[in-house]
Amino acid sequence: MDSATVEKIIKEIGNIAPAHEGEHVGRVVAVGDGVVAIDGLSKAVMSEVLLFEEGKGKKLKGTMSAGGEAQGELFGLILNLEEDGVRATILGDTARVSEGMTVKSTGRILSVPASAEMLGRVVNALGEHIDGKGPFKKTTLMPIERQAAGVIDRKSVTVPLATGTKAIDAMIPIGRGQRELIIGDRGTGKTTVAIDAIINQKYEPEATRPICIYVAIGQKESKTARIAQQLREQGAMDYTIIVDAPASAPAALQYLAPFSGVAIGEYFMDKGRDVLIIYDDLSKQATAYRQLSLLLRRPPGREAYPGDVFYLHSRLLERACRLSEEKGGGSITALPIIETQEGDVSGYIPTNVISITDGQMFLVTDLFNKGIKPAIDVGISVSRVGSAAQTKAMKSVAGGIKLELAQFRELEAFMQFASDLDKATADRIESGRRMVEVLKQKNGAPIPLERQVAALYAAGHAFFLDVPVNKVTEVEGQLMEFLDGQYSKTLAAIKKTGQLSEDAKKELNKAMEEFRLAHAELFSVGK
Partner 1 sequence: METAYAQALWKMVEGGMTPAKAVHALRDTLKAHGREQLMPRIARAFARIAQREAKRTDVVLTVAREKDERRAHKEIKDALSRMGVETKALKTQVDDTLIGGWRLEGKETLVDASYKNQLIELYNRVTA
Q: Residues 477, 423: contact at Cβ < 8 Å?
A: no
Residues 79-98 within binding reach of partner 1 (CB under 8 A):
83-84
- Binding residue per annotation — 153? no
In the residue annotation, 516 being an active-site residue is answered as: no
Please choose, out of 51-59, 232-240, 339-347, 380-388, the segment that lies near partner 1 by the rule CB under 8 A.
Answer: 51-59
Stretch that binds partner 1, among 4-12, 212-220, 222-230, 256-264 (CB under 8 A): 4-12
Q: Is 190 a known ligand-binding residue?
A: yes
- Measured in degrees and rounded to the nearest 5, phi and psi for residue 52 equal -85, 130
59 annotated as belonging to a binding site for a ligand? no
Determine if 2 is a binding residue for partner 1 (CB under 8 A).
no
Collect all residues with Cβ–Cβ distance below 8 Å to 483 and sequence separation of at least 6.
451, 454, 490, 491, 508, 511
Q: How many residues bind partner 1 (CB under 8 A)?
A: 36
Min dist. Cβ of residue 257 to partner 1 (A): 24
Name the one range near partner 1 by CB under 8 A: 56-64, 223-231, 295-303, 316-324: 56-64
Considering beta carbons, is residue 37 or 253 the nearer one to partner 1?
A: 37
Rg for the chain (alpha carbons), in Å?
27
Among 63, 94, 407, 478, binds partner 1 (CB under 8 A): 63
Instruction: Please check whether residue 158 is in contact with residue 395, taking contact to mean a CB–CB distance below 8 angstroms.
Output: no
Terminal-to-terminal C-alpha distance of the chain: 84
The CB-of-59 to partner 1 minimum distance in angstroms stands at: 5
- Cβ proximity to partner 1, 59 vs 423, nearer residue: 59
320, 277 contact by CB (below 8 A): yes
Is residue 281 part of an annotated ligand binding site?
Answer: no
Residue from 384, 409, 433, 516 carrying the catalytic annotation: 384
Query: Would you call 233 helix, strand, or coil by DSSP?
Result: helix
Using rule CB under 8 A, residue 138 touches partner 1: no
Query: Least Å distance between CB 49 and partner 1?
Result: 16
3-state helix/strand/coil string of 302-366: HHHCECCHHHHHHHHHCCCCEECHHHCCCEEEEEEEEECECCECCCHHHHHHHHHCCEEEEECHH
- What separation in angstroms does the CA of 321 have from each of 126, 158, 172, 178, 267? 23, 12, 18, 6, 13
Q: How far is the CB of 38 from partner 1 (least distance, A)?
A: 11
Contact 216, 246 (CB under 8 A): yes
Binding flag, residue 64, partner 1 (CB under 8 A) = yes
State residue 209 phi and psi, 5-degree precision. -70, 130
The one segment of 3-11, 260-268, 487-495, 517-525 that binds partner 1 by CB under 8 A: 3-11
Minimum CB–partner distance for residue 30 and partner 1 (Å): 12
Our finding on whether 102 is near partner 1 (CB under 8 A) is yes
**Would you count residue 69 as binding partner 1 (CB under 8 A)?**
yes
Q: How far is CA 376 from the centre of its chain?
A: 17
24 sits near partner 1 (criterion: CB under 8 A): yes
The residue within the footprint of partner 1, chosen from 57, 132, 150, 526 (CB under 8 A), is 57
- Among 67-75, 281-289, 396-404, 504-512, which window interacts with partner 1 (CB under 8 A)? 67-75
- Distance of alpha carbon 500 from alpha carbon 516, whole angstroms: 22
Determine, following the binding rule CB under 8 A, whether residue 18 of this chain makes contact with partner 1: yes
Nearest residue (CB) to partner 1, 103 versus 321? 103
- Is 40 annotated as a binding-site member? no
Q: Report if residue 299 touches partner 1, rule: CB under 8 A.
A: no
Residue 496 binding partner 1, by CB under 8 A: no
184 annotated as ligand-binding: yes
Residue of 2, 12, 420, 521 that binds partner 1 (CB under 8 A): 12
Nearest Cα neighbor of 279 from 256, 250, 304, 248 is 256
Sign, CA torsion 432/437/438/444: positive
Buried b (16+ CB within 10 A) or exposed e, 201-233: bbbbeeeebbbbbbbbbbbeeeebbebbebbee
The answer to the question of whether 425 is labelled as a binding residue is no
- What does the alpha-carbon distance between residue 490 and residue 350 come to, in Å, rounded to a whole number? 43
132 is in an annotated binding site: no
Q: Which stretch binds partner 1 (CB under 8 A): 15-23, 306-314, 440-448, 479-487?
A: 15-23
Spatial distance between the Cα atoms of 198 and 164, rounded to a whole number of angstroms: 9
Task: Cite the annotated binding site for ATP by residue number.
Answer: 184-191
Hey, which residues are catalytic here?
A: 384
Residues at the contact surface with partner 1, assessed by CB under 8 A: 5, 8-9, 12-13, 16, 18-27, 29, 39-43, 55, 57-60, 63-64, 68-69, 73, 83-84, 102, 104
